[in-house]
Amino acid sequence: MKKIISIVLILFGAAATFLSSLLICAIPVLEEGANSSWMAKLSDSTKISALSLPGSHDSGATHSIADFSGKCQDYGIKPQLQMGVRFFDIRLKNSGGNLRIMHGFIDQKLSYDTFLDEVNAFINTHEKETIFLSIKNEATDSGTSEEFASAVLSTSKAHLGEKWAAPRTMPTTIGEVRGKVVLLSRFQADYGVDCYSGWPGEARKEGFDIDNGIHVQDYYALPDCEAKKASVLECLSYANQNATTGASPFVLNFFSGYLENAFPMSYSVPVAKQMNPFALEQIKNYSTTGVCIFDFVNEKLCEAVIGRNAI
C-alpha cells in the first residue's frame, strides 16, 4: 500500500512539475497599468499603416484539453486590454444566432456577447483607444455564410452601438476611429474590412497580400522555430519600410504557430516559448513593427511593441 501511495505521489509531483512548465506568463497584471491608455498619446493624424500594435492570436482561447491542445492565451480579454493589446483575433461558432468563441472544436467558455461587453466597458472609460477586431468563422456547422454574417452584425451592433465600425477598407488615420471597434472580416460578408478575399487556406512561409492590400505573415504549420523566425523577421522589415512607403494599409505579423512533428500537433506552447523571447530581442531593432500577434501575450511583449510608436 505504501508503495502504491509513493508511486501516486511521484506521478502527481511529476504531473505538477510538467504543467507548471507550460506557463508562459508569470507576470502580474495591474488593474490599470501604464499601457491602458497608450493610444491617447498618438496624434489624430497618425497613419494606421505606421502603427506598432500588440495583438493576441486566438485571443479568447484560454481553455484546452488536458493542457495539451486549444489554449493560446493565459489572460482573459479584460487583462489583455489593460496591458495594451489592441488587435484581437477571435474565432466564432454560430448556433441559431448564439455566437460562441471557439478554437477548432474546443469551446472556450466565452460568448461573443460577453466578449463585446468587456470591450465596450473598456472603451467607455478609455475613449481614445481603438480596437481592431478580426473575426473568423471557426465551424462548418455555423449555418449558412449569410446566417453567420447576420448574427455577427446584429450582435455587434446591439452591444457596441456607435462604437461599432465596419468599413470595407482600412481607415487611413487613427483619428478617424478613436473609441471604435474596427472589424476585419475573415468571413464572407458585405461589411467590415475585407480579410476574407485572397487569404489562403494553407500555411505559407512567405508573407502575402490579400485582395485589399493588407500584408500578412501567418506561417503557422512549422517544421521548426527557425523557419518561423525567418518569416517574422522578413515581415518586421516589411512593416518598418511600410511606415514610410504606405504600400500596405495594415501589416499583420503572427508570431504564433505549432510544430508539425510535435504531439499533439496543435500544441502552441513550444513555439511560444521560443518566439516570445525572440520577439523581445528583435522588436527593439525596428522603428515600426506593424501588428505583432502573439500566443500567450504578456505585458513585456506589449511594452516592447508599444514602445516602437512615436509617443
pLDDT recorded at residue 70: 83
pTM here is 0.90
pLDDT recorded at residue 141: 82
User: Is residue 233 domain-resident?
Assistant: yes
Looking at the 3D structure of the chain, how many domains does it have?
1
| Sequence-ordered strand ranges (E) for the chain | 52-56, 87-95, 98-103, 106-111, 131-137, 164-165, 181-186, 193-194, 208-209, 215-217, 221-222, 251-254, 258-259, 290-294
User: Is residue 311 domain-resident?
Assistant: no
pLDDT recorded at residue 14: 34
Looking up residue 170, the CATH number of its domain turns out to be 3.20.20.190
Phi first, then psi: give them for residue 217, nearest 5 degrees.
-120, 115
Q: Which domain holds residue 17?
A: 2-306
H helices present in 27-84, as ranges: 77-83
pLDDT recorded at residue 311: 78
pLDDT recorded at residue 68: 63
Alpha carbon separation from 193 to 135, 170, 245, 249 (Å, rounded): 11, 6, 21, 11
User: Is residue 217 domain-resident?
Assistant: yes
pLDDT recorded at residue 143: 81
User: Is residue 282 domain-resident?
Assistant: yes
User: What does the pLDDT profile of the chain (311 residues) look like in tens digits?
Assistant: 444 433 333 333 334 334 434 445 444 545 677 899 999 999 999 999 999 999 999 999 898 876 567 899 999 999 999 999 999 999 999 999 999 998 888 888 899 999 999 999 999 999 999 999 999 999 888 789 999 999 999 999 999 999 999 999 999 999 999 999 999 999 999 999 999 999 998 889 999 999 999 999 999 999 999 999 999 999 999 999 999 999 999 999 999 999 988 776 668 899 999 999 999 999 999 999 999 999 999 999 999 999 999 87
Q: Are residues 139 and 101 in contact, defined by beta-carbon separation less than 8 angstroms?
A: no
Q: What SS3 state is found at 271?
A: helix
